[in-house]
Amino acid sequence: MPQLPEVNVLIVDDLPENLLALEALIRQPQLVVHQAGSAEQALALLLDHDFALAILDVQMPGMNGFELAEAMRGTGKTRHIPIVFVSAAGSELNYAFKGYESGAIDFLQKPLDTHAVRSKVNVFVELHRQRKLLKEQVAALQQARREQDALLGKLEVAHSELERAVAMRDDFISLVTQELRTPLNDLYVQTQMRKTHLPSGDSPAFAVSSAREMLDREERQIGAMLGLIDGMLDVSRLRTGELTIHPRPLDLAALVRRAGTSHAARLEAAGCEVTLDAPASVQGVWDEFRIDQIISNLLINAAQHAPGQPVRLSLSSGDGEARLVVRDHGPGIAPRDHERVFRQFERGTPLPPVPGLGLGLYIAQQAARAHGGSVSLDSAPGEGATFTVRLPLAGTP
């Protein structure tokens, strides 16, 4: 059985022998009896402890029991303590306690009747314990309620995140389907056309020059589809935290020049004149494939989202890091979208629409972070966009 909580009782009498006798009478386990020889001593004790009951001798020199009760009534902390007055037989006890809020006022007459004293004390002590227990239960209930509310809040957040994830997945699937459908459809039409002309063998499609053109186009379409699939694979790898990098000593200046060359045709087709400003060599330890992915995504973005405008690539190094800046002069990105465009599947809504999944910047950022670096954006509408890639020279931190 759990032990009963300890309870304090105050007894006040100017005669020490009365205090001793009363304490002996009411003593019981888990009951702490505090003795006061005067009203002043009693007031000091009342401030320090939480009492279940105060037993006050009415006749005391100085402040008497009734006056002490009035003083207790005046203080919030003691206003509710039940009081039992002890007085000599035949003395006046119908003192009016206006405003004494507990209402729990009782009287005992000297000589004290053992049974009456014990039963009164027991009633008040038990009442106090019940009240205390109730208070604890209410506090526990309130705490449980707060925890429940907090949990509910978390559940609501998780639920709306889930809804957002499901909506995003659906958007993503329809986007991928559309994006894959265009090049596939094109390839299908071309294949059908060649099949139709095959029996006669005289289609211009079979002439060497047209065949080369066709192969180039098919290569581009297949490349676009492979790019899409690679992007999707990267995203699922990133989700499972598997964007692994294999850093090796590397010359970033050479890599930037190679990337510029390999995207030259695409940028030229988009009307973007590219200038490169790079030192002869910037040595560091990085994953070549991932760094190439970062540069490629930024260059392709410039071609797609800032066509017809010059693009400047500048590479520099210092303070233990390499900095690559890709600056274009396209429509730019509003500051409110700066953070959003780096999230997966987040895209702008340009007119006319530009193909894409909204993965390029996300993958670039994750790849830079895997190296302990970052990609940041500085742009305003109509003022072009400046992407800065920072990479520690030593590779992963």
Ligand X SMILES: Nc1ncnc2c1ncn2[C@@H]1O[C@H](COP(=O)(O)OP(=O)(O)OP(=O)(O)O)[C@@H](O)[C@H]1O
Segment near ligand X (CB under 6 A); pick from 9-17, 183-191, 251-259, 340-348: 340-348
3-state secondary structure of 258: helix
Nearer CB in complex with ligand X: 3/349: 349
How many C-beta atoms lie closer than 10 Å to residue 306's C-beta? 21
Residue 303 found at the interface with ligand X (CB under 6 A):
no
The C-alpha atoms of residue 199 and residue 84 are separated, in whole angstroms, by 119
Q: Is 125 in the site for ligand X (CB under 6 A)?
A: no
Which residues sit opposite 331 in a β-bridge? none
For 115, the token pair is 């049974």
Give me the residues that bind Mg ion (CB under 5 A), please. Answer: 301, 360
Q: Which are the contacts of 85, defined by CB distance < 8 A and separation ≥ 6? A: 56, 57, 58, 65, 66, 69, 93, 105, 106, 107, 108
Choosing from 299, 385, 389, 391, the residue that interacts with ligand X (CB under 6 A) is 385
**Residue whose token pair is 């729990």:** 104
Smallest Cα–Cα separation from 312: which of 387, 390, 363, 258? 387
Per CB under 6 A, does 302 bind ligand X? yes
- The DSSP element (H or E) to which 367 belongs, if any, is helix 360-370
Site for ligand X in 137-156 (CB under 6 A): none
User: Which one-letter DSSP state was computed for residue 30?
Assistant: T
Chosen residue from 57, 286, 362, 367 binding ligand X by CB under 6 A: 362
Least spacing, CB of residue 314 vs ligand X, in Å: 15
Q: Which of 341, 370, 389, 391 binds ligand X (CB under 6 A)?
A: 341
Alpha-carbon span 327 to 313, nearest angstrom: 6
Q: Which of ligand X, Mg ion, none does residue 385 bind (CB under 5 to 8 Å by kind)?
A: ligand X
Using CB distances below 5 to 8 A depending on partner kind, what does residue 46 bind out of Mg ion, ligand X, none? none
> Which two three-digit tokens encode residue 396?
């992963």
The single residue among 12, 282, 359, 370 that binds ligand X, judged by CB under 6 A, is 359
- Tell which positions 11-70 bind ligand X, by CB under 6 A: none
Confirm or reject binding of residue 348 to ligand X (CB under 6 A): yes
Q: What's the one-letter identity of residue 323?
A: R
Q: Pick out residues in 206-245 that bind ligand X (CB under 6 A).
A: 231
Contact residues for ligand X, defined by CB under 6 A = 231, 297, 301-302, 304-306, 328, 330-333, 341, 347-348, 356-362, 385
